[in-house]
Chain A
């Protein structure tokens, strides 16, 4: 990596930042779906899931913005923090668990 002022021709920082952005949108989609399911099933579990997902999507958007800044600012872009990765993985795990419980409970009540 000798290029001091060279722009990365592979656009790695942009692609990575956009990848975070897309993930944020998908979490938001899940939040909207959880809200809809919670309203129609009158399910507490799915309401909680929506309340977890809505701030989580904004957190991922913020993380993406932070990554974009961190990647574009330095010539040698910074590493991602392992905590962010683990947090996101655990979030998906927990949310899928809550979704499971919500769907199962709604089916049992009918």
Chain B
């Protein structure tokens, strides 16, 4: 009897959904936060554009996710190279080496944000069935890496000649 009443009064277990974005986080995660922070968390976890259009094939979404991660890793690799350059090289003049590593840090920061904006643009295009947006990012990446390696090669050469 008691158990029956328990069974009747206890709420149904929540259904596990395949696509959490609409269902999780919004109320549960934001509860108890100040209003503005809650609104920010809602906006960040589930921006409005993710409800527009139709859900793309999951393989394309996952490919886009991996592309984002590859850009993030590129940024992290550039950052690691900047720190290694500053730490482990003994090339003179020192100021030139520091300048190159500082430029690489700025570049890494830009790549990090670029990763997100590209992911978002691709996701939006896929949701609306449009062509993926063109971007000059890869060309820019190549030019900057060429510039960094070219200036480093020059520095090493100048250093060698000076010795």
Interface, chain A (partner B; CB < 8 A): 1, 8, 10, 12-13, 15-16, 19-20, 22-23, 26-27, 29-30, 33-34, 36-37, 40, 71, 74-83, 85-93, 95-97, 99-100, 103-104, 106-107, 110
Contact = CB atoms under 8 A, between A and B. Distances in A.
Contact of A83 (B44, B61, B66, B119): B44
Interface stretch (B78-86, B130-138, B142-150, B153-161): B78-86
Nearest to A28: B76
Given A19-B69, A88-B72, A96-B79, A82 B50 contact: yes
A88 B111 CA distance: 12
B78 to A, nearest CB: 8
A103 B105 contact: yes
A26 B106 contact: no
A89 B95 CA distance: 29
B21 A92 contact: no
Chain A interface mostly: helix
B19 A27 contact: no
Given A19-B65, A100-B109, A92 B76 contact: yes
A74 B18 contact: yes
Give chain B's interface secondary structure class.
Answer: helix
A77 B105 contact: no
Contact of B72 (A12, A81, A89): A89
Contacts of A104: 98, 102
B79 to A, nearest CB: 5
Interface in B94-108: 94-95, 98, 101-102, 105-106, 108
B73 to A, nearest CB: 5
Contact of B19 (A33, A75, A76, A110): A76
Given A37-B86, A96-B75, A30 B105 contact: no
Contacts, number: 146
Interface residues of B, number: 51
Interface of B: 18-21, 25, 41, 44-47, 50, 55, 57-59, 61-63, 65-66, 68-70, 72-73, 75-77, 79-80, 82-84, 86-87, 94-95, 98, 101-102, 105-106, 108-109, 111-113, 115-116, 119-120
Given A30-B79, A75-B18, 8 more contacts: A77-B58, A81-B21, A81-B45, A92-B76, A92-B109, A93-B112, A99-B79, A106-B86
B41 to A, nearest CB: 7
B19 to A, nearest CB: 6
